[in-house]
Amino acid sequence: MEQKRYGHFDDQHREYVITDPQTPWPWINYLGNEDFFSLISNTAGGYSFYKDAKFRRITRYRYNNVPMDNGGRYFYIKDGDTVWNPGWKPCKTPLDFYECRHGMSYTRIMGRKNGVEASVLFFVPLKKWAEVQKLTLKNESKEVKQLKLFSFEEWCLWNAATDMENFQRNFSTGEVEIEGSTIYHKTEYRERRNHYAFYHVNAPIQGFDTDRETFVGLYNEFADPQAVMEGKPRNSHAHGWSPIASHYIEVTLQPGESKDFVFLLGYIENEQDEKFEAPQVINKKKAHALIAELDTTEKVDKAFAALCEYWDALLNIYKVKTGNDKLDRMVNIWNQYQCMVTFNFSRSASFFESGVGRGMGFRDSNQDLVGFVHQIPPRARQRIIDIASTQFPDGGCYHQYQPLTKRGNNDIGGGFNDDPCWLIFGTVAYIKETGDFSILDEMVPFDNQPGTEVTLFEHLKISMDHVIKNLGPHMLPLIGRADWNDCLNLNCFSWDPNESFQTTENVSEGTKAESLMIAGLFVVTGKDYVALCKKIGKADEAARMQQAVDAMIEAVKKHGWDGEWYLRAYDFYGRKIGSNECEEAKIFIESQGWCTMAEIGAEDGMVAKSLDSCKKYLECEHGMVLNNPAFTKYIYEYGEISSYPEGYKENAGIFCHNNPWVIIGECIAGRGNDAWSHYAKILPSYVEEKYQTLHKVEPYVNCQMVAGKDAFKPGEGKNSWLTGTAAWMWYTVSEFILGIKPDYDGIRIDPCLPETASDYTVCRKFREAEYEITIHPNGAQKGVRSITLDGQPVNGTVIPYSAGKHVVEVTM
Ligand code: BGC
């Protein structure tokens, strides 16, 4: 196995330090926390947008670029005849030193060449609609340095999809204004847009460029822009074609001297009647104000300190000390960080998601919430309301919605029958964390239509009912377009490569396609729903749903068991999927995960058998594959799943998202050794240590998929960052392995550990309380023997909630 390393963790600074710019794939980070966001690769590639990567793209990204992260915020330094960039790209001039530090919502890239050090700190200050790029140039040589500095950003046309499509119009609409050291981008501002962007530097400039062809030259590239190579800006003024923003600054540095430059990429919105200060001239008042807030090193340093404090506070809510660095750094830093990022972006913008395709997923966002709710509960609350507002009156829902408009995405529509259940999953997690039952009384519309509002609780009720009203011949849930596995399309029969599996056909007439995954999900969330109803005094509703849950359990036992594992589904014609009788794909992971979490048939040994079968048939060196054996041919009745080559994606890839389901099943069954060994296999810090070249994608976060045992390159990762894996890894380790579980009346303590686990401490802020919980496992995998709270014995496993600081001791 290849052992080359490109970087390492720096836990003290909560950074991943990349020491070689030529990583096997762009290793990226995210900037911004609420409205203004940027993606940034380790060589400063990437783009920025306001709220919505499709509708408010600020800087340009070219899809499927070569290399992938080409285009970004670039600083060109011309020192004599040498032109270089602090992040190595795009010139790729060999550097004397290179380092990229990805931290919590910031990235610092540093390069050294011929006695000059250039260090750039990139971040989006809290509550600001702008990306700061603080560039520090330092002369470490013994001579005076005369440098020519060029900045570079390329504007996008707000709607990123149009930007890539409609050149016949776009090449004529581009408009800019230049005022002092600020370049304004105002394309389409003259008509219906009330927003513009700007790129500013807090120093006088000696020139600029705003027209790309003039700056780069028709036959040159980002690696050798003509203006830079010749050391002469053209002072071009873009009219149409491709507007850019480039400042030119002449910098003299005495030996030992250093200078800061604060570059600011900002976004502004104006009221309709305040758009212009003169005919055709944009009103720059707000831009001036924003610039004034961040125009000195001191102001920027202060904003950066505030961002660091913000992360201190967020990461202080759940902190573990186990003595195992690899575990601690994932739990305390990176897993929680990735949860915030997936909460913000759902599956919209990454180096695997274009930002123009998917918005926020209904099921995805509910799951992401569970990884995030302890950090900023009010944002999770708002998210639940936003999601529920895209539901239809019959309980079905839009599969996705756009973050800017919060409207359901018509391109994909609804019909994914697992979607409604996830609303219960998200809401229950929120209430358990906060104790805020008032959310259930919020009035929430259907499909965002004013006048249709009912309480959120009513939304939960119709979500459950949607499953019950859509049962198939075995009294198991009908699958619809697909369940969690978007690619198991049992009602879509397609031989036409121009059709999308997920949106073309959904033959409902006569279908017998049922899902065991939804059955398990229904039992798990149904039990939660019943407990919630009891909690709020709705005994009748609790009893009604308990009956439905019991019936579902019976249906699974009767029609969903294959002897050694749970079936996966029934197809359109009522034939088994995921059965020993099948030629391929005899066993699937999703139903094993959900039915073991639901403990269906535990008393008859089904759970233990199912978990054993996962080990026997699904587990491999890199994790558990989704199905086994992999499909080797296209099965018309199954849809997209068998369209993938063996070992990739939903066809026997290690779809990391669902590994935690089985791990939780193991935890509930009390099999701590097995739970841990599955968990460690997909824990990024373990992969980081083992191999970086093979894994390819960022070693500090989980990716959606690692190629499975049947793949051409088992162990190779894809689709990093935006994956439900983040939330599920967090939920698994924080609540089921380390065993600290928020509950309505307090914190339930129920760890499930490998026998080798030593004592550990979790500091958990919970509502108005702060608990320091020390667990003494004593070699046990499961089972709490005794708990003391501030020295007093506790009955049972729930520490009753009370505000203030508490010390808890747990003996297993
Ligand atoms: C989607 C999820 C889906 C999963 C499995 C992901 O790309 O975002 O919603 O559950 O794939 O198909």
Question: Residue 515 and residue 482: Cα distance in Å, rounded?
Answer: 9
Query: Looking at beta carbons, which pairs linking 548-554 to residues 24 or more positions away fall under 8 Å?
Result: 548/464, 548/468, 549/522, 549/523, 551/475, 552/475, 552/476, 552/519, 552/522, 552/523, 552/526, 553/523, 553/598, 553/600, 553/601
Q: Which residue has the tokens 């409604």?
A: 420
Residue 357: predicted pLDDT: 84
**Omega of the bond prior to 67 within 30 degrees of 0, cis?**
yes
pLDDT tens digits for 715-725? 999 999 999 99
Mean pLDDT of 575-598: 98
Is residue 81 among the annotated active site residues?
no
Mean pLDDT, range 553-581, rounded to an integer:
98
SS3 of residue 151 by DSSP = strand
**Cβ atoms within 10 Å of 734's Cβ, excluding its own:** 23
Handedness of CA 633, 637, 643, 646 (dihedral sign): negative
Q: Which atom of ligand 1 is nearest to the CA of 484?
A: 10
Q: How confident is the model at residue 596 (pLDDT cuts 50, 70, 90)?
A: very high
**Has this prediction a pTM greater than 0.85?**
yes
What is the rounded CA–CA span in Å between residue 678 and residue 666?
A: 9
> How many whole angstroms from 587 Cα to the centroid of ligand 1?
19
Q: Average the pLDDT over 394-400 and give the result.
A: 95
What is residue 410's predicted lDDT score, i.e. its pLDDT?
85
What is the tens place of the pLDDT at every residue in 142-176? Answer: 999 999 999 999 999 999 999 999 999 999 999 99
**Residue 2, pLDDT above cutoff 70:** no
pLDDT 10s digits, 680-713: 999 999 989 889 999 999 999 999 999 999 999 9
Confidence label for 3 from pLDDT (cuts 50, 70 and 90): confident
Query: Which atom from ligand 1 is nearest to the alpha carbon of 655?
Result: 5
Ligand 1 atom having least distance to the Cα of 346:
8
| Ligand 1 atom closest to 482 (CA) | 12
Write the secondary structure of 484-505 as one string of H (helix), E (strand) and C (coil): CCCCCCCCCCCCCCCCCCCCCC
Residues in the chain: 812
- Top mutation candidate among 363, 369, 422, 486 for ligand 1, by most atoms within 8 Å of CB: 486
Atom number of ligand 1 nearest to Cα 650: 12
Task: Tell which atom from ligand 1 comes closest to the C-alpha of 719.
Answer: 7
Average pLDDT of 218-233?
97
Alpha-carbon dihedral 438, 443, 448, 449, rounded to 10 degrees: 180
Distances (CA, A) of 687 to 8, 338, 676: 12, 16, 15
User: 485 CA distance to ligand 1 centroid (A)?
Assistant: 6
The answer to whether 730 and 765 have CB atoms below 8 angstroms apart is no
- Taking the centre of ligand 1 as the mean of its atom positions, its distance from the CA of residue 428, in whole angstroms, is 22
Q: How far apart are CA 444 and CA 122, in angstroms?
A: 39
| Average pLDDT of the residues in 242-248 | 98
> What angle in degrees, to the nearest 10, is found between the helix axes of 659-668 and 672-681?
160
Catalytic one of 209, 364, 368, 486? 486
Tell me the per-residue pLDDT of 604-663, one tens digit each, with 9 for 90 and over: 999 999 999 999 999 999 999 999 999 999 999 999 999 999 999 999 999 999 999 999
DSSP readout, 385-414?
A: HHHHTTB-TTS-B-SEE-TTT--B-TTT-S
- Residue 483 Cα, ligand 1 centroid: separation in angstroms? 9
Span of 2-11, 230-239, 309-318, 592-601 with lowest mean pLDDT: 2-11
Structure tokens at 199: 């790129």
Give the mutation target among 657, 658, 718, 725 for probing the ligand 1 site: most ligand atoms within 8 A of CB.
657
**Residue 485 CA: which ligand 1 atom is closest?**
12
Q: Give the residue whose CA is nearest to atom 10 of ligand 1.
A: 484
In 3-state terms, what secondary structure has residue 585? coil
Question: H or E stretch including 31?
Answer: strand 28-31
How far apart, in whole angstroms, are the C-alpha atoms of residue 368 and residue 343? 5
Of all residues in the chain, the percent with pLDDT exceeding 90 is 95
For 662, phi then psi, to 5°, come to -70, -35
How many angstroms separate the alpha carbon of residue 556 from the centre of ligand 1? 24
Of 366, 484, 721, best ligand 1 pocket probe by most atoms within 8 Å of the beta carbon: 484
Residues 669-673, mean pLDDT to the nearest whole number: 98
Separation CA 333–CA 12 (nearest Å)? 10
Which residue has its alpha carbon closest to ligand 1 atom 5?
A: 485
Residue 745 pLDDT greater than 80, yes or no? yes
- Cα–Cα distance measured from residue 360 to residue 364, given in angstroms and rounded to the nearest whole number: 7
Q: Report strand pairing: 318-321 vs 400-401.
A: unpaired
Residues 795-810 pLDDT 10s: 999 999 999 999 999 9
Q: 629 preceded by cis ω (within 30°)? A: yes
Please give the structure tokens belonging to residue 390.
């895209």
Both structure tokens of 669 = 């069954």
Q: What angle do CA 678, 682, 687 make, to 5 degrees?
A: 125
Q: What is the pLDDT of residue 697?
A: 97
Could you tell me the distance, in angstroms and rounded to a whole number, from the CA of residue 474 to the centre of ligand 1? 26
How far, in Å, is the centroid of ligand 1 from the Cα of 360? 12
Q: Are 651 and 488 in contact, with CB atoms under 8 Å apart?
A: no
**DSSP state, residue 755:** T
pLDDT for res 402: 87
* Cβ(762)–Cβ(738) below 8 Å: yes
Q: Ligand 1 centre from 359 Cα, in Å?
A: 13
Buried b (16+ CB within 10 A) or exposed e, 447-476: ebeeeeebebbebbbbbbbbbbebbbebbb
Q: Cβ < 6 Å from ligand 1: which residues?
A: 347, 361, 363-364, 484-487, 650
Distance 525 CA to ligand 1 centre (A): 19
Q: Quote the Cα angle for 174-179-278, to 5°.
A: 75
How far the first Cα of the chain sits from its last, in Å, is: 39
